[in-house]
């Protein structure tokens, strides 16, 4: 179990409407990621599902039951926050077991669930340690273990990796994805990092100003963005946008070209420009280029591409790789 349905869910704080009205279907066992810039309403939407915020109108249905007015404890959901919120004086094992103890579960069953969760999360050897003796990644795993033992219908993650350094974020990203495969339980995950969204999600919900801009698989959003906002938000580095004669040649108000979809030449092409910073990353080189018409773009080249600051370069968008947008920013198909 673990299906979640939102029907015209709306949230307002006084006269300020932060979620104008969202319809969403989250299927059992899916890994769904809410992504968008800061202030887009993604954490608020997650808190509405969890019952930590009251909806202003609309319905929230979990496993066929209307839980719109139900208390958080009645929704059979487990939430993992950005803050680990572990008890420093308790051992890892006691931290994981704490929600079961509060539910007055018999000790034998508690220990069975703790051992099972610890085994899944590679925490078995740390059950007697205190949180202060663990790394940031291990503490986050303890917080996840505390959610696992509750055997929820779905897990809700609110930017759980934000406090970790870059290397640990990559590791935890993989661990949470593997955990989803092992548990086969619905997971709803909030992040502002589109790389996390692209690498973890079965389905991505892109939000802007509380509105759903597009829903789809990572590759659907990457290859077929519904509008300029989604095209620019999904993908790293961001999609380049050109207007004026370059766009008019394609019958559009604006065109979008991803950094990897340019053909490059030192002698000829459609878009002449001058190389600024060249970021050499080994396998790739990202070129910051000022086109002659004043547009700044980023292009991706092979790591060994021979180019330097101040060099002249000509770019040509790859055939079939140009995204067209109208004046309102909607994709032209």
pLDDT score at 84: 78
Q: Do residues 297 and 251 touch, judged by C-beta distance below 8 A?
A: no
- State the Cα–Cα distance between residues 73 and 88, nearest whole angstrom: 24
pLDDT score at 17: 93
**Count of CB atoms situated within 10 Å of the CB of 268:** 8
pLDDT score at 239: 96
pLDDT score at 205: 97
pTM above 0.75, yes or no: yes
**Count of CB atoms situated within 10 Å of the CB of 289:** 24
HSE toward the beta carbon, residue 254, CA cutoff 13 A = 19
Coil vs helix vs strand at 322: coil
- Token couple for 324: 């067209």
- State the Cα–Cα distance between residues 142 and 79, nearest whole angstrom: 13
pLDDT score at 304: 80
Using alpha carbons only, give the angle 161, 36, 183 rounded to the nearest 5 degrees.
45
pLDDT score at 162: 83
**Residues 6 or more apart in contact with residue 106 via CB below 8 angstroms:** none
Encode pLDDT of 61-104 as tens digits.
999 999 999 999 899 999 998 777 889 999 999 999 998 998 89
Residues of the chain falling short of pLDDT 50: none
**Residues 6 or more apart in contact with residue 112 via CB below 8 angstroms:** none
- Token couple for 3: 């299906």
Alpha helix (H) residue ranges in the chain: 42-50, 92-102, 107-120, 136-148, 166-183, 194-200, 218-223, 228-233, 245-248
What is the number of H-type helices and E-type strands within the chain? 9, 19
List domains and CATH numbers for the chain: 4-231 (3.40.50.300), 238-332 (2.40.50.140)
Question: CA–CA distance from 267 to each of 69, 246, 297 (Å)?
Answer: 66, 19, 19
**Residues 6 or more apart in contact with residue 86 via CB below 8 angstroms:** 95, 131, 139, 142, 143
Encode pLDDT of 208-220 as tens digits.
999 999 999 999 9
- State the Cα–Cα distance between residues 301 and 85, nearest whole angstrom: 44
H or E element at residue 56: none
The distance of Cα 209 from the centroid of its chain, to the nearest Å, equals 16
pLDDT score at 305: 84
pLDDT score at 199: 94
**Residues 6 or more apart in contact with residue 73 via CB below 8 angstroms:** none
pLDDT score at 269: 94
């Amino acid at each position: 179990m673990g299906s979640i349905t939102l029907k015209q869910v709306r949230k307002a704080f006084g006269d300020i409407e932060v979620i104008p009205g969202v319809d969403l279907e989250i299927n059992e066992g899916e890994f769904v990621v809410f992504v968008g810039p800061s202030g887009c309403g993604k954490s608020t939407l997650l808190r509405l599902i969890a019952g930590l915020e009251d909806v202003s109108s609309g319905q929230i249905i979990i496993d066929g039951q209307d839980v719109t007015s139900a208390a958080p404890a009645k929704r059979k959901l487990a939430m993992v926050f950005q803050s680990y919120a572990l008890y420093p004086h308790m051992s890892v094992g006691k931290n994981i077991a704490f929600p079961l103890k509060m539910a007055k579960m018999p000790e034998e069953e508690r220990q069975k669930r703790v051992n099972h969760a610890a085994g899944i999360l590679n925490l078995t050897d740390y059950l007697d340690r205190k949180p202060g003796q663990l790394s940031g990644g291990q503490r986050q795993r303890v917080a996840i273990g505390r959610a696992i033992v509750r055997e929820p219908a779905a897990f809700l993650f609110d930017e759980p990796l934000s406090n970790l350094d870059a290397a640990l974020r990559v590791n935890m990203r993989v661990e949470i994805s593997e955990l989803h495969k092992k548990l086969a339980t619905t997971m709803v995950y909030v992040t502002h990092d589109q790389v996390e969204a692209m690498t973890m999600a079965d389905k991505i919900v892109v939000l802007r100003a509380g509105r759903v801009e597009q829903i789809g698989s990572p590759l659907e959003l990457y290859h077929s963005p519904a509008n300029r906002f989604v095209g620019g938000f999904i993908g790293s580095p961001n999609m380049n946008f050109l207007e004026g004669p370059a766009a008019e040649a394609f019958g559009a108000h604006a065109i979008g070209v991803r950094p990897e979809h340019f053909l490059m030449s030192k002698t000829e092409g459609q878009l002449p420009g001058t190389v600024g910073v060249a970021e050499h990353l080994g396998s790739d080189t990202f070129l910051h280029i000022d086109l002659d018409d004043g547009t700044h773009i980023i292009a991706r080249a092979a790591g060994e591409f021979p180019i330097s600051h101040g060099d002249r370069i000509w770019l040509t968008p790859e055939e079939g790789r140009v995204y067209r947008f109208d004046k309102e920013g909607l994709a032209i198909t």
